[in-house]
């Protein structure tokens, strides 16, 4: 599932795309560490956070 990450870097807005939950989680952690405000949405437009991403990774592993 693709994830859209809308980040608001100082002076510019940037949109990233992550193809997997792992990639989205890595970008989440990077943006948090840099103090950049952002929002992640999945392919259905649902806003997700790190807990949601980790749950989806775990659920996929259990399937």
Give tens-digit pLDDT for 11-37: 999 999 999 999 999 999 999 999 999
Q: Could you tell me which of 9, 61, 55, 59 has the C-alpha nearest to residue 24?
A: 55
| Closest C-alpha among 24, 32, 11, 33 to residue 53 | 24
Of 35, 61, 43, 13, which is closest to residue 24 (Cα–Cα)? Answer: 43
Rg value, the chain, Cα: 12
Element (H, E) at 60: helix 50-62
Number of domains forming the structure of the chain: 1
Q: Given this model, what pLDDT does residue 1 score?
A: 81
* Confidence label for 63 from pLDDT (cuts 50, 70 and 90): low
DSSP 8-state class, residue 11: T
Whether this prediction's pTM lies above 0.85 is answered by yes
- Structural domain including 54 reads 3-62
pLDDT band at 62 (very low <50, low <70, confident <90, very high): confident
């Amino acid at each position: 599932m693709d994830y859209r990450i809308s980040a608001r870097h100082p002076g510019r807005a940037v949109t990233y795309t992550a193809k997997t939950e792992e990639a989205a989680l890595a970008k989440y952690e990077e943006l948090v560490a840099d103090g950049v405000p952002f929002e992640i949405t999945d392919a259905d437009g649902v806003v997700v956070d790190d807990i949601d991403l980790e749950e989806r990774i775990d659920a996929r592993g259990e399937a």
